[in-house]
Chain A
Amino acid sequence: DAMVIQNPRYQVTQFGKPVTLSCSQTLNHNVMYWYQQKSSQAPKLLFHYYDKDFNNEADTPDNFQSRRPNTSFCFLDIRSPGLGDAAMYLCATSSQGNLGETQYFGPGTRLLVL
């Protein structure tokens, strides 16, 4: 089945230790998104790619970076995780990013910062 895969499902890191979360998709979608979701809150968009074009949300901290080496893969790098970065990180895709399109979400990676 075509899907969005996130690895790992759970990630524990230490304060200040860089961490990378990965996302892959078999849907061949052009657009990939990274969201941060804290407990009982709405998903917050960090950035998105339309193909190779990177779009950073204005309030995304510089501590967060992303790479998309090819259509299928997208990575979220947190350069120096702080306690406030503990959250669920959701990857999503959509075909062309058009208005009526559905987003397809992965299961998420829950990040714990010690």
Chain B
Amino acid sequence: AQSVTQLGSHVSVSEGALVLLRCNYSSSVPPYLFWYVQYPNQGLQLLLKYTTGATLVKGINGFEAEFKKSETSFHLTKPSAHMSDAAEYFCAVRGSSGGSYIPTFGRGTSLIVHP
């Protein structure tokens, strides 16, 4: 079974400050990890994903995440927050159900960006 824990339901930063959103996972098999972003009243959009290979993954909008197996973590970072980054962020790990591979989502972290 797979599970995801996102630490902090809300993260507040000032514009221009570092963004750090935390995600820890549990997986009985090598994990496939994803970060999605959701803007108000919209669906989820993929930011980045880790499958195999390089552990530092770069995504859209200047975000990146590092897979650390020893820490079972996949934290999302961005060096400088922008007002447009304010949204809900979901970490997900891919598991299996009924023969298909089904992502398990974390509860989400709401990113608040102050001017």
List A residues at the B interface (Cβ < 8 Å).
4, 6, 9, 31, 33, 40-43, 45, 48, 50, 55, 57, 88, 90, 92, 97-103, 105-108, 110
Min distance, Cβ B103 to any Cβ of chain A, angstroms: 7
List B residues at the A interface (Cβ < 8 Å).
9, 32, 34, 36, 41-46, 49, 51-52, 90, 94, 97-103, 105-108, 110
Check A42 against B108 for contact (C-beta < 8 Å): yes
Set of chain B residues within 8 Å of A41, measured between Cβ atoms: 107-108
Report which residue of B43, B45, B98 has the largest number of chain A beta carbons within 10 angstroms of its beta carbon: B43
18 residue pairs A–B, Cβ–Cβ below 8 Å: A6-B43, A33-B102, A40-B108, A41-B107, A42-B106, A42-B108, A45-B97, A48-B98, A48-B100, A48-B102, A55-B100, A57-B97, A88-B41, A90-B43, A97-B101, A100-B52, A103-B103, A107-B41
